[in-house]
Chains A and B, each alone.
Chain A
Amino acid sequence: MSISGTKPAESRVSDTLARDRLGVAAVVFFVMSAAAPLTVVAGVVPTGLAVTGLTGIAVAFLAVAVVLAIFSVGYVAMARHISNAGAFYAYVSQGLGRPLGVGASWVALLAYNMFQVASYGGFGAIAEPLFADWFGVNAPWWVLGLAAWALVAVLGVRDVAVNGRVLATLLVAEILLTVVFAVAEITTDGFAASSAPLDPSTLTGAGAGALLVMAITGFVGFEQSVVFSEESRDPRRTVSRATYIAIALIAVLYAFASWAMISAAGADKVVDRATAEGPELFFNLAAGPLGDTALHLGHALFLTSLIAAMISFHNIISRYMFSLGREGVLPRVFGKTVPGTGAPKNGSLAQSAVGLAVIVVYAVMGWDPLVQLFFWGGTGGGLGVLLLVTLTAFAVIGFFARHPEGEDLLHRVIAPVIGAVLLLVVSYLAIDNIATLLGVEPGSTPALVVPLSFAVLFVAGVLWALYLRAARPQIYAGIGLGARSAANSGGFAAALNEETR
């Protein structure tokens, strides 16, 4: 098998390299384990019902899937043409200019860190009653959150690759279990097929933006498919297929499970039940037909799903910092790895420091780990990713306006423009509805802090890029080109550039 189809089939170099390359299934698995299906279905959806009181979540998942799929047409097309395709800021740098790219990189770091700390809160809050039940351990949420934090911190620094087969098995089990539980909920007595979760008018009504952000939160991780653009068997097809398959699978699974859950509880009662039962709602509704063993299994997979998400986001963050450190946008120390393992140690340590600080602050202040950390962090991160995706959509248009070679009109103009317009509308609704999303009064502190912190970091990133342009043009020139760029990477390139730090 040859890499591009144009080279002779008997090339030993091509054959050897092809053996290491990834197929569609491998990329789908990687993406979906960051998306953490059970965490979304059993964690984000019931909490979101309780906080926002909105039930149109199933149709929101489907609508967001369509928007993201349209966006992905241009996104994966551009990934074929640029280096460092794993990071939004590379697209923004090359499509809209380096200053906006650096702004995007800082927003991305905040958004992914919000996901990361959210998963610590979620794990602690969800594990607290389970550990009391299973082992008789009465530990407060933050002790359990810190245990998960320590596990992720150690794995991150040592870069112990959690066995791909283990992750894949857990993921398949998680998906099967979600389906089985949702089907069980359909068979219960209280089930009455409800149209409320699928009512498209909720997407134009009050609170539409809140629903859409919750839905986007469930998809985050889909953007990571392009990390493997140059590692895939067929650069033109593998990643694009994997991206569409992942989006479709996620959408159908989430929409079905949330529809079943809301219908089983009753659309008029589900908000009250979600408020009372929290993440237990999805399990309680299925408990009747399935029995205790299934319930325990479901709970165990819920926790492993959260841990898989933590590990995924931790790795995304540490590598983001590595890439920025190599380019000199962040201090060069972040561009170093542990020689024996290739672990981006300093980025990993920095992320762990952030995680520790957040857990400690929440514990000391006595803030609620489920709503104020898991849900706010998760949906706040979802909002950040939504804004980044929107900016990237425009970057794709900008990039192909200047480099139209090799892509047809659909990939470089039509889909990107439609996607960008739709995303702009979603972003507007999201910011407009931020108070509904967080379940607070409009204009109150959380409703201001979340969007403003993205804005402040974005502007700060832009200013930092402008400073680099004036003071360190060599570094500025390499922004967004990533570790792949030979002109701008680690210690040796720094030596050539008289950049000794």
Chain B
Amino acid sequence: MASPPQLPPADDLYLTAHDTIRGKSLLSPATLGLGLGAALLGELMLWRRIDLVETELVIIDDRPTGDAASTAVLEQILREAGQHGVRNWLAYLSTGIATDLVERRLARAALIKRVEKRGLLGGTKVSFVPADSMTAGWPATRIRTKVTRDEHLDVADLLLAGLILATGLDQHVLATLDARDRAALFEQFRRLFPAMLQQLVSQAEAAVGDAVMARRA
């Protein structure tokens, strides 16, 4: 049986952060938003459109990426270039902007379906459920499988795995890794994960912790 294709990291993170059957989020909205915001910024780094220098985002190429979600973020960064540090960008994207962009991208690819539920009080509640639970569970499975087989993760998957740790999702999806596997994964972070992306994931993780301290998480 063929494996589902590897999606952009933000899409993979979204699927990993939701129940594969009912689509319920495993993260609080703020934490999910920070993770997806960091993933979209990470995608722009993988597209070689932006760099993270210290704590500033620097544009190195302003051409659209060919993908609507990451291009939308790139355009916003272009519009307010040099005005905000990466932490402000993460905070901004986490207000629902990143989640919205990723949901639209996944819906366009027919990987999640929009479901409307009528609430008790008459209003309708919109939610998304995975089109196929096997595809939705695949990113986490792929990481676990590769790590336990001592295979190298590519940079996109290291970004995904890093954000899984940063958002605390590892308590759900990497709980089955034993100490040796975890050590092997950490070794890959140190040796194979570019410094700029390490820094991005660290900033996202710090932002998640900060939200807890300020009672926003």
Contacts and interface: CB of A to CB of B under 8 A. Distances in A.
Interface of A: 7-8, 11-14, 16-17, 20, 84, 86, 159, 161, 227-228, 230-231, 315, 319, 322-323, 326, 335-344, 482-487, 489-493, 495-496, 498, 500
18 contacts: A13-B92, A17-B95, A84-B213, A227-B213, A230-B214, A322-B213, A337-B217, A339-B27, A344-B212, A483-B209, A483-B213, A484-B209, A486-B205, A490-B165, A491-B165, A491-B166, A495-B190, A500-B186
Contacts of B92: 13, 16-17
Most buried by A among B167, B168, B216: B168
Nearest to A230: B214
B206 A496 contact: no
B210 A483 contact: yes
A340 B76 contact: no
Contacts of B182: 500
B208 interface: yes
Most buried by A among B182, B199, B210, B216: B210
Interface residues of B, number: 50
B169 to A, nearest CB: 6
A335 B166 CA distance: 12
Contacts of A227: 213-215
Contacts of A485: 206
B95 A16 contact: yes
B91 interface: yes
B133 interface: no
Contact of A342 (B30, B76, B79, B185): B30
B48 interface: no
Contact of B80 (A11, A20, A84, A339): A11
Contact of A315 (B91, B190, B208, B215): B215
Interface in B1-42: 25-28, 30-31
B83 A11 contact: yes
A75 to B, nearest CB: 18
Interface string B78-107: 011001100011011001010000000000
B65 interface: no
Contacts of A16: 92, 95, 97
B176 to A, nearest CB: 15
Contacts of B183: 500
Contacts of B137: none
Most buried by B among A227, A231, A335, A342: A342
Nearest to A326: B209
Contacts of A322: 209, 212-213
A230 B213 CA distance: 11
Closest 10 pairs (CB-CB, A-B): A342-B217, A483-B209, A495-B186, A486-B202, A491-B165, A492-B165, A339-B168, A486-B206, A13-B92, A492-B166
A340 B25 contact: yes
B149 to A, nearest CB: 19
A487 B54 CA distance: 12
Contacts of B56: none
Contacts of B169: 339
A498 B190 contact: yes
B90 to A, nearest CB: 11
A482 B213 contact: yes
Given A342-B31, A486-B206, A495-B190, 9 more contacts: A11-B84, A13-B83, A14-B83, A20-B95, A339-B167, A340-B28, A484-B213, A486-B203, A492-B166
